Amino acid sequence: MHSLFLFLETVNYPILIGFLVSSLALAISPGPDNIFVLTQSISNGTKSGLATVFGLVSGCLVHTTLLAFGVSEIIKRSDTLFFAIKLFGALYLLYLAYQVYRSDASILLDNGNKQTQALSKLFWKGFTMNVLNPKVTIFFLAFFPGFLFSTEFNTVVQFYVLGLLFMLSALIVFGAIAVLAGNISKYLTSHEKAGVYLKWVQIVVFVGIAIYLFLSDK
C-alpha cells in the first residue's frame, strides 16, 4: 500500500493525460487495425468485431514487454542513447505524418465478405496481426519513452502503465467501432470529405507528438 501511495505522489498527471489523449486520437485515426475491425463487424456482426478487437489489443502487451525490458536498460545506462531514441521517435513520427500526407484520403470498406469465422479464430487472427507487425514495436519505441511520467519510479512499471493506457484507449475506440459499425459505415460512405478530415487529424497528431517528444526531458 505504501508503494502505491509513493507511486501516486510521483506521477506527473498532465503527461499521463497527454499520453491518453494522444492514444485516443491515434486510435480514432483511420488505419489498418480499425478499418479491419470495421469490416469484420460489418461482414460478420458485432461479436466478430469485438473478438478481433480483443486480439489486437492483447497483442500490444507483447510489444509493451519488449519495450519495457529493452529500453529501460538503455535509459538507465546512457543519457546520450536516450536522446538518440527520443530523436529517432520524433523523426519516425514525422515520417509517418508524411506517409499519411502522401496517402489517398479515401476510406475503402470491403464489406462483401459474409464468411463467418469462429470467435476464437478471429481473436488469434487479431493477436497475430498485431504481434507479428514490426511497425507496432517501432511505433511503441518512438511513442512511449517521451511520456515517462515519474523521475522516482521504476521505468519498467511506467512502460507497463503506458502500455495498459494505450490498450485501454484502443479497446474503447475499437470496441465502439465494432458496436457502431453499421452507422459508421453509412456515415463514411455518405460523406466524401470524412476521409480528408480524418487524414489531417492523423497528420496533426503525429506532428504534435513528434514536437512534444523532441522537446521533452528525461
pLDDT at 31: 76
Domain ranges of the chain: 32-105+123-215
Burial (CB < 10 A; 0-12, 13-18, 19+), residue 41, is buried
Q: Would you say residue 201 has pLDDT above 70?
A: yes
pLDDT per position as a tens digit, 119-165: 889 899 889 988 887 778 888 988 998 898 888 888 899 999 999 99
Could you give the CA distance from residue 170 to residue 159 in angstroms, rounded to a whole number? 16
pLDDT at 136: 86
pLDDT per position as a tens digit, 167-200: 999 999 999 988 888 777 667 666 767 667 767 8
Tell which residue, 56, 52, 37, 31, has the closest CA to residue 130.
Answer: 56
Torsion of CA 82, 83, 85, 87, to 10 degrees: 170
Could you give the CA distance from residue 175 to residue 165 in angstroms, rounded to a whole number? 15
pLDDT at 124: 92
pLDDT at 154: 86
DSSP secondary structure letter of residue 180: T
Query: What percent of the chain shows pLDDT beyond 90?
Result: 24
Angle, helices 181-190/155-179, rounded to nearest 10 degrees: 80
What is the value of pTM for the model shown?
0.80
pLDDT per position as a tens digit, 15-31: 999 999 999 988 887 77
pLDDT per position as a tens digit, 46-90: 888 899 999 999 999 999 998 888 877 777 677 787 788 788 888
pLDDT at 45: 81
